Amino acid sequence: MVEQKNILDRGPFFHGTKAELKIGDLLEPQYMSNYQNKKSNYIYFTATLEAAKWGAELAASDAKERIYLVEPLGDFENDPNVTDKRFPGNPTRSYRSKSPLKIVAELGVWERHSDEQINHMLASLKKLREDGKAVILD
């Protein structure tokens, strides 16, 4: 693991997605975002299973939902899209990095949110987009 100057969190870290990856693969920035129609300058991850589940469930694809355990290979920072806008103090333990994340394992079993919860979240996100409030600081 890369030594960070200011340790924000020691993990373990998760990345929720619908991408099929292998152990040792790298997740890197500059790929299409799951949440906006552009390439993302950062790769996002979390130290909570709850946030990783949302990442997998809300990712733009019909593929299988997956949660990977990841290792940050460089410095990372608090995700300002969550900490500054919704949850001061970062209780979701959400982060972003311009350095890759290494896939170290896939979480084989986890409990999804209910279809009702997912549909409610999708409707809320749609409303934010319609109201012009779905801005992601990237």
Choose which CATH entry (3.30.470.20, 1.10.274.10, 3.20.170.40, 3.90.190.20) describes domain 13-130: 3.20.170.40
Which residues is 39 bridged to in the sheet?
A: 32
What pLDDT sits at residue 7?
Answer: 65
What pLDDT sits at residue 32?
Answer: 62
Q: Which helix (H) or strand (E) holds 104?
A: strand 101-106
Count CA atoms within 13 Å of residue 16 on its CB side: 23
Number of neighbours of residue 52 by Cβ within 10 angstroms: 25
> Is pLDDT larger for residue 137 or for residue 77?
77
> Is pLDDT larger for residue 60 or for residue 8?
60
* Helix pair angle (49-58, 115-130), 10° resolution: 70
What pLDDT sits at residue 137?
Answer: 65
pLDDT tens digits along 67-118: 999 999 999 998 887 776 666 777 889 999 999 999 999 998 999 999 999 9
pLDDT tens digits along 23-81: 999 999 876 666 666 677 899 999 999 999 999 998 888 899 999 999 999 999 988 87
What pLDDT sits at residue 80?
Answer: 84
Q: Structural domain boundaries of the chain?
A: 13-130
